[in-house]
């Protein structure tokens, strides 16, 4: 049963061929079996899941089923869930139980989904391998014996969805945290337009970049999840009042006789060093697009190679401000000191891990009066230029494609320096700086048998179009990501 996609499961639930309780039981059993080894959940919520499932079955019986009724999902442990511990994978929030529900998780409740648990991530979503988690790193189910990373920061969700420990799930993407982990686990991960999904109740990392989004096994599943989580939220002042209009199926957009789809490839990214496999697969998919009537055009984003530097100024700056609230006074960890300042210091030294502390220090430095103008303001200017270059590029093409990563999943015990980790975000951060939608979709398997992904990038609020093209690419690539196949069991 765990090989079903959301689309397939919904059909069977509707026809009564399976029940939500049966489906949920299958996932909980599998979590029991492999959950520890994969370390993809920080908290499993079996009682809640079974209660959700029973309620779904009752709605199916009464003919009042909701759009995603009975679909068992994993929620990144960054979304506050009422009465369920929400840790952000930090010691600081190890025992934090929110009294409120994030807008995104509430929307999933309102769509009838079943909550299996809270998935692992990098501490406060800062990282690329989910190794900065206070609870240890999740593992990639592909070639399990090699202990590869499932990516980060949404690595718990990707580990769970790729292994059949959830049918789909949520992530957040500040600089690539949905797309990178999805790419290296053979999944589809969508970073929607900034503002399409509410950030309310989602633990803040860098507020002008943080973007909640879905992770699924197919593009259609991902679109279904996005339609559940998107929508205006008066509680988030950056929430857009545009909707994600999805009627349940993604129409083809290639091979249209009237006007060929113009697909841009970014000139400046062509010189970035990527693996032979990535290059080959990317080129094959471009060839597929071409032979299906797309027109390929070269576009230029002149400052795109500066995006990493810009991101690693802006994201830490915002993080240092957002994380100032963890002072041991109101909630979270508190380590008593000899006076209030000593309590602040001891609490923050004990509560935050090394990477989070590094970001706070960088952020505080770039916001200091002597650095503000030369670092922060300069980064803000280049950010604006990148965003304008994308606007300009989209006057010459409808959508853009580029790799999601340079290569396949690396071993968890790879010993990279912080800068080497940061460099892995090369292909993803620019879209966050510009606030535009980008979806990573599998583009094939590398020689070593591991999956690779490529991105489809669109104009603001062209999320549906992005997914439509992603679906074509998914079909061209045709990789088999059924959990029982991936795990070999
Ligand atoms: N890897 C990036 C970072 O460490 C992106 C993280 C994210 O998108 N949350 O900041």
Hey, where are the domains in the chain? 6-255+411-487, 305-381
Task: Determine the atom of ligand 1 nearest the C-alpha atom of 126.
Answer: 4
Please give the distance, rounded to the nearest whole angstrom, from the Cα atom of residue 310 to the centre of ligand 1: 13
Instruction: Please answer whether residues 226 and 244 qualify as being in contact, where contact means their C-beta atoms are separated by less than 8 angstroms.
Output: yes
For tokens 């300069």, the residue is 378
For tokens 């990098």, the residue is 122
Residue 259 has a pLDDT of 87
- How far apart CA 158 and CA 149 sit, in angstroms, is 10
The helix-helix angle for 354-367 and 307-322 (nearest 10°) equals: 100
Residue 396 has a pLDDT of 98
Instruction: Tell me, using a 6 A CB cutoff, whether residue 174 lines ligand 1.
Output: yes
Instruction: Tell me, using a 6 A CB cutoff, whether residue 127 lines ligand 1.
Output: yes
Please give the distance, rounded to the nearest whole angstrom, from the Cα atom of residue 125 to the centre of ligand 1: 6
Which DSSP state fits 242? Answer: -
HSE toward the beta carbon, residue 22, CA cutoff 13 A: 9
Instruction: Tell me, using a 6 A CB cutoff, whether residue 5 lines ligand 1.
Output: no
Per DSSP bridges, beta strands 114-119 and 72-76 are parallel
Residue 298 has a pLDDT of 98
Active site residues: 76, 153, 177
Per DSSP bridges, beta strands 72-76 and 168-173 are parallel
Smallest CA separation from ligand 1 atom 10, residue? 126
Instruction: Tell me, using a 6 A CB cutoff, whether residue 315 lines ligand 1.
Output: yes
Residue 258 has a pLDDT of 78
The pLDDT tens digits along the chain (489 residues) read: 999 999 999 999 999 999 999 999 999 999 999 999 999 999 999 999 999 999 999 999 999 999 999 999 999 999 999 999 999 999 999 999 999 999 999 999 999 999 999 999 999 999 999 999 999 999 999 999 999 999 999 999 999 999 999 999 999 999 999 999 999 999 999 999 999 999 999 999 999 999 999 999 999 999 999 999 999 999 999 999 998 989 989 999 998 777 899 999 999 999 999 999 999 999 999 999 999 999 999 999 999 999 999 999 999 999 999 999 999 999 899 999 999 999 999 999 999 999 999 999 999 999 999 999 999 999 999 999 999 999 999 999 999 999 999 999 999 999 999 999 999 999 999 999 999 999 999 999 999 999 999 999 999 999 999 999 999 999 999 999 999 999 999
Instruction: Please answer whether residues 201 and 102 qualify as being in contact, where contact means their C-beta atoms are separated by less than 8 angstroms.
Output: yes
Instruction: Tell me, using a 6 A CB cutoff, whether residue 103 lines ligand 1.
Output: no
For tokens 């609020």, the residue is 461
Residue 289 has a pLDDT of 98
Main-chain dihedrals φ then ψ at residue 325, nearest 5 degrees: -70, -20
Residue 457 has a pLDDT of 99
Q: Which CATH class is domain 6-255+411-487?
A: alpha beta
Phi-psi region of 254 (alpha: psi -120 to 50; beta: other; left: phi over 0): beta
Q: How many residues does the chain have?
A: 489
Provide the token pair at 242: 């545009």
Beta carbons within 10 angstroms of residue 336's beta carbon:
9
Please give the distance, rounded to the nearest whole angstrom, from the Cα atom of residue 4 to the centre of ligand 1: 30
Please give the full DSSP string across 348-398, using - where no structure is assigned.
Answer: HHHHS-HHHHHHHHHHHHHHSTTTIIIIIIHHHHHHHHHHHHHHHHTTT-S
Please give the distance, rounded to the nearest whole angstrom, from the Cα atom of residue 178 to the centre of ligand 1: 9
Q: Which residues, in sequence order, are CB contacts of 447 under 8 Å at separation 6+?
A: 277
- How far apart CA 48 and CA 34 sit, in angstroms, is 20
Provide the token pair at 421: 């980790």
Main-chain dihedrals φ then ψ at residue 342, nearest 5 degrees: -65, -35
Instruction: Tell me, using a 6 A CB cutoff, whether residue 363 lines ligand 1.
Output: no
Per-residue exposure over 2-18, b if at least 16 CB sit within 10 Å of its own CB, e if not: bebbbbbbbebbeeeeb
Residue 100 has a pLDDT of 98
Residue 93 has a pLDDT of 98
Q: How far, in Å, are 127, 236, 316, 349, 363 from residue 134 at the CA level? A: 12, 28, 19, 14, 21
Q: Which residues, in sequence order, are CB contacts of 210 under 8 Å at separation 6+?
A: 125, 172, 173, 174, 199, 202, 204
Provide the token pair at 299: 């576009």
SS3 94: coil
Main-chain dihedrals φ then ψ at residue 123, nearest 5 degrees: -55, 125
Nearest to 363 by CA among 376, 380, 347: 376
- How far apart CA 65 and CA 335 sit, in angstroms, is 48
């Amino acid at each position: 049963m765990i090989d079903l996609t959301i689309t397939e499961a919904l059909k069977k639930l509707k026809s009564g061929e399976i029940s939500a309780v049966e489906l949920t039981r299958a996932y909980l059993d599998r979590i029991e079996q492999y959950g520890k080894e994969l370390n993809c959940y920080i908290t499993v919520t079996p009682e809640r899941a079974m209660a959700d499932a029973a309620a779904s079955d009752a709605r199916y019986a009464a003919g009042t089923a909701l759009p995603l009724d009975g679909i068992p999902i994993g929620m990144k442990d960054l979304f506050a869930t009422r009465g369920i511990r929400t840790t952000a994978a930090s010691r600081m929030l190890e025992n934090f139980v929110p009294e409120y529900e994030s807008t995104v998780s509430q929307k999933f409740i309102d769509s009838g989904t079943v909550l299996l648990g809270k998935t692992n991530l990098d501490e406060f979503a800062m990282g690329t391998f989910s190794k900065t988690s206070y609870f240890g790193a999740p593992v990639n189910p592909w070639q399990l014996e090699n202990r590869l990373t499932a990516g980060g920061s949404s690595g718990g969700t990707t580990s769970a969805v790729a292994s059949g420990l959830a049918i789909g799930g949520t992530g957040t993407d500040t600089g690539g945290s949905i797309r990178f982990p999805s790419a290296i686990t053979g999944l589809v991960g969508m970073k929607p337009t900034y503002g399409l999904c509410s950030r309310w109740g989602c633990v803040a990392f860098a507020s002008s970049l943080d973007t909640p989004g879905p992770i699924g096994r197919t593009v259609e599943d991902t679109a279904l999840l996005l339609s559940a989580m998107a929508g205006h939220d008066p509680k988030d002042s950056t929430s857009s009042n545009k909707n994600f209009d999805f009627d349940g199926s993604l129409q083809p957009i290639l091979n249209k006789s009237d006007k060929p789809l113009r697909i841009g490839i970014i000139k400046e990214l062509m010189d970035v060093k990527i693996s032979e496999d990535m290059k080959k697969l990317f080129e094959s998919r471009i060839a597929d697009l071409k032979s299906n009537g797309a027109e390929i055009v070269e576009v230029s984003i002149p400052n795109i190679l500066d995006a990493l530097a810009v991101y690693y100024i802006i994201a830490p700056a915002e993080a240092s401000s957002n994380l100032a609230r963890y002072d041991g006074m109101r909630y979270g960890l508190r380590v008593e000191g000899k006076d209030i300042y000593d309590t602040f210091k001891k609490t923050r030294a004990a509560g935050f891990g090394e990477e989070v502390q590094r970001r706070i220090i960088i952020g505080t430095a770039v916001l200091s009066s002597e650095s503000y103008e030369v670092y922060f303001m300069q980064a803000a200017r280049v950010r604006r230029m990148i965003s304008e270059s994308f606007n300009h590029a989209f006057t010459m093409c409808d959508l853009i494609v580029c790799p999601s990563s340079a290569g396949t999943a690396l071993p968890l015990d790879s010993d990279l320096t912080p800068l080497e980790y940061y460099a892995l975000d090369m292909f993803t951060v620019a879209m966050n700086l510009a606030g535009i939608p980008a979806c990573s979709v599998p583009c094939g398997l590398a020689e070593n048998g591991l999956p690779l992904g490529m991105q489809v990038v669109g104009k603001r609020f062209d999320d549906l179009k992005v997914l439509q093209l992603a679906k074509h690419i998914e079909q061209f690539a045709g990789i088999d990501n059924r959990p029982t196949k991936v795990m070999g069991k």
